[in-house]
Amino acid sequence: MITQTKNTTQTAGPIQYFLLTENGIKGETASASFKLTVYQEGLIRVQVSREQSFAPNPYSVILNPQVTNFEFEETDEFLYLITKTVSVKIRRSNFSLTFLDKTGTVLSEDDPNFGISWQGTEVSSYKKLQQWEKFIGLGEKTGGLNRWGKAYTNWNTDHFAYGKNSDPLYISIPFYIGLHHERCYGMFFDNTHKTVFNFGASNNKYSYFSAEDGDMDYYFFHEKNVSDIITSYTSLTGKMEMPPMWALGFQQCRYSYYPDRDVLRLAETFRDKDIPADVIYLDIHYMENYKVFTFDGKNFPNPAALIKTLKDKGFRIVVILDPGIKVEAGYAPYLEGKAKDLYLKYPDGSDYEGHVWPGWCTFPDFTKPETRKWWAEKMAFYTDLGVDGFWTDMNEPACWGQHTPNLVEFDYEGQKATHRKGRNVYGMQMARSTQQGAKDLRDSLRPFVLTRSGFAGIQRTAAVWTGDNVANNDHMLLGIRLVNSLGLSGVSFAGYDIGGFEGNTPPPLYARWISIAAFAPLFRAHSMINSTGSEPWSFGEEVEEISRNYIKLRYKLLPLFYSAFYKSHLTGLPVSKSLAIDFPFDDNIYEKSYENQFLCCDSLLIIPVASFKEVTKGYLPEGSWYYFYTDKLYTGNQEVYVDCPLSYLPVFVKGGAILTLQDSIQHTGHLESGSLYIHVYKGSGITRFSHYEDAGDGMDFQDGAYFKREIVLNSDSNEVTVATSEGTLDSRYANLTLYFHGFEQNMANVDGKNISLEKQDVTYLKKISDFDPLPSDKHPFHTCKQVSFIHIKHSKEPVIIQLV
């Protein structure tokens, strides 16, 4: 056993005494206090501290311990805490923990010598590396899907034009999932100081996580699969609120669109060119000298009239909000914050000032409840003008020099903390304040907040984008991994700047990027000042047509996306899913060639490729897969080669899938009562899909104002059941059209009547006549099989369609 050595390492030491509590066990060791709390059968909290009391993070966890039966056993060597799902073996001689599943298989095991230990104020938990162990998640982190052999730092950082292996970035989510021996577990380290996660980097014995100060306070998860671990984690830290429908549409941004006539011209060009879009962003040049809660009177003399005109055209406005409040006599927000004592402080009580866009600025202390209330109220400046969305940027917090003094003090809910403890939650609390203002001031409409910075639990308050990326192929593919990793970490509503923020985007890169992004949760194009614009028509006619195709495809898929967002709102599972969620023990998915692949809305397998490739190799996991454009059927567990000219991103549909589509529209406010197109793909066994509709905004859906119905496909009996609807709303779709992919039958029995199926060529993308590089004999529309379909009047009553 290692004991304390001056200036080296101190372990917890042997257990001195313990006692059982209502939810677990607590006690003291030679060097520390400890407490284990059973939150749920598969969720155990571990707290260890050398202080007299524990100091929990007040921001991330929203779940209280549930009433859970557990058993306790003890021997001379160990204490045991046992639930139906997991057991914890606690070593007496030198406090260390081993987590086992119900079969007794080790899930995670502390090193018995080091376990939980300290080097000065730094606290660490050392875990034995299990054989063939893989690590996934950890939020917004570069690198590969499997984190093994790497180390990462959680310290929210304004990292302009970050590299493909840069670390840290803007958001810290200290949660990962471990995989080995067909078993999975999760680990959430709830400490807001700078933390390090080492997954076997520079050693062959340990993974460990450490914080530069504070308690060892972590949550251990074990469930039967990765999906259930993510659901459990988001039950602990919160799930995404249901976003407004318009936030799922195409969003156009630039640093910056001004004056107001340029914004109007942008909106008119989208409509004139028949390119769907819902959102236009205003970056920092809309402000007067970059000061938040202002509009530049010269470039935007009548913002209310501008916003009304844009809304009449079907556009929502999202404005950027930076936290820096300019130190300026006569500037009302600064004076108000000063009078109310709402800014970050030095220890002597003076306001901390940093230099950023407006000049020398103070920074609201969003860890102080009074500050959050004031900020939320100040947002009336925007909501009174009709602004619908808010983009919180520079909220790490960022300022020139990128080195905030650590002695800067945060209120931290009255606990008082230095910058070392408060920084990582600053952006999260700014987003929280902004969301609250958007809720309170907009008559219960759903808020849309987009943030650059955050911490574990940020999914409750904001969508996330991956910051200042670069216009190159590496960044395009990196953005996919970042979004998928965020999805593994509870953040479902995420995306990246299409085309790249920094640098000039080559036309082929934009074409490929927008085709991939059409399947991302957040669908936003953005570019930097003095660079190529990121509008779809900025790259020539061919790219414009490709962009129009994929943007229109996104709008056709909105029923599928909206249902997926509703599922995510309920379960915490991501809309853009790493293959590690459904196929965690298939080693092929971790290969460099395949780690960028993902599932969109559970059923669409996207194979991203670089812009210069015309043929690519992809990997199809277990199951059956249909090529999206031709219906060609492939068996899984194999590599495939696919043509991928710019106009055709490789997309496959999972056998057994149920896809819902609608007619093309120009914006989400343009929904018409037409047909809901239900595409079913023959697989094996029974698959279920929950189609969901509501008003698209507001909170009435929480009181039953929605339309939901389950669609069940039994591929073995060739039967589709559209179940009785739930909710008080009627569907916006008057008719159903069901398309049958992979079925050979020509007749359908509906309510006891046999009906002949019709045939139709189903195409998802418009042919790019003058630019399409594929020869006619390889063109998807020449090789697409005719698909059988049937029309049905849409009602709330159940219907069974049996193919015969």
The three-class DSSP label of residue 285 is helix
Give the whole-angstrom CA distance, residue 456 versus residue 230.
Answer: 13
Tokens found for residue 397: 């917090």
Q: State the alpha helices, DSSP H only, in 174-278.
A: 226-237, 260-272
For 60, 194, 376, 600, the CA distances from 239, given in Å and listed in that order, are 11, 24, 22, 19
3-state helix, strand, coil in the chain (%, to 5): 20, 30, 45
User: 560, 582, 522: which is closest to 230 by C-alpha?
Assistant: 582
How many beta carbons lie within 10 A of that of residue 666, not counting itself?
18
User: 719, 775, 711, 709: which is closest to 743 by C-alpha?
Assistant: 719
Give the whole-angstrom CA distance, residue 186 versus residue 138.
Answer: 11
Q: What is the DSSP string of 491-518?
A: --SEE-EET-SBSPPPHHHHHHHHHHHT
Q: Are 747 and 793 a contacting pair, CB within 8 Å?
A: no
Q: Which residues contact 209 (CB under 8 A, 6 or more apart)?
A: 124, 125, 174, 187, 189, 195, 196, 197, 198, 218
Active site residues: 393, 396, 468
Tokens found for residue 187: 């680990």
State whether the Cα torsion 292-468-245-663 is positive or negative. Answer: positive
Q: Are 495 and 483 a contacting pair, CB within 8 Å?
A: yes
Tokens found for residue 268: 């008119």
Tokens found for residue 658: 């149920």
Q: Are 657 and 624 a contacting pair, CB within 8 Å?
A: no
Residue in this structure with the two tokens 């994929």, named with its chain if needed: 550
For 558, 668, 709, 727, the CA distances from 700, given in Å and listed in that order, are 20, 18, 18, 11
Q: Which residues contact 304 (CB under 8 A, 6 or more apart)?
A: 384, 385, 386
Give the whole-angstrom CA distance, residue 318 versus residue 434.
Answer: 12
Q: Are 452 and 567 a contacting pair, CB within 8 Å?
A: no
- In residues, how long is the chain? 804
Which uninterrupted H or E stretch holds 326? strand 325-326
Q: Are 211 and 193 a contacting pair, CB within 8 Å?
A: yes
Order of strands across the sheet that contains 24-29: 15-21, 24-29, 33-40, 43-49, 216-222, 183-189, 175-180, 134-137
The three-class DSSP label of residue 330 is coil
* Bridge partners of residue 210, in order along the sequence: 124, 196
Q: State the alpha helices, DSSP H only, in 519-557.
A: 541-556
Type of residue found at 458: I
How many beta carbons lie within 10 A of that of residue 396, not counting itself?
28
Give the whole-angstrom CA distance, residue 499 versus residue 504.
Answer: 9
* Bridge partners of residue 38, in order along the sequence: 44
User: 345, 287, 349: which is closest to 321 by C-alpha?
Assistant: 287
Give the whole-angstrom CA distance, residue 682 versus residue 744.
Answer: 10
